[in-house]
Chains A and B, each alone.
Chain A
């Protein structure tokens, strides 16, 4: 069964850090570009970052560069998002999403999301 399961969300104080994980099963993770997308409460989707299948190419939305780091472990079929210097405006549901195998641009599957709340 195809699954993307995010974890690691929770309540964190401003300036704090969190590491999100996305465990993947049911498709060839090592062949797929992966993305993080977030959605603030009641708002639209916001692309955060992407990482190529090998991890060689990494891209970020400009406002998150320098604070967030994306990585992957193909041996563990897992994707990660390290978030530092968190701000109230980072409060959102964070989704991992895969691109279809063999493509960078053709999005396929989404996880159910994990909620990050930044508040004192």
Chain B
């Protein structure tokens, strides 16, 4: 059973910077896992933020960036805004066909 692990919770001050990570139980995450990142606010559907490791959608705020960091996929928020408080999920692909979501990171802006 493949497990994708994210930090359960993180807290950041407004204007600060925070990095969320996404690790695979099978080893280092590479671009071949096609990491995607999603934001979900309470009572809402998820929204896509980042695809294929580091690519932003047209609607993704510039303060969000994706990367590979220390064998993990990473989502960095620079200049955090109060509206960034949300749950964040990563998605990795295995064998090119099976998607597995991480357990999510609850980001608190305080």
Contacts and interface: CB of A to CB of B under 8 A. Distances in A.
Interface of A: 35, 37, 44-47, 50, 57, 59, 61-62, 95, 97, 100, 103-113
Chain B residues touching A, majority SS: strand
Interface of B: 34, 36, 38, 40, 45-48, 51-52, 55, 57, 87, 89, 91, 93, 96-104
B51 A45 contact: no
A105 B51 contact: yes
Contact of A108 (B34, B57, B97, B102): B57
Nearest to B6: A44
Contacts of B48: 107-110
B45 A35 contact: no
Given A45-B46, A109-B48, A35 B103 contact: no
A95 B52 CA distance: 21
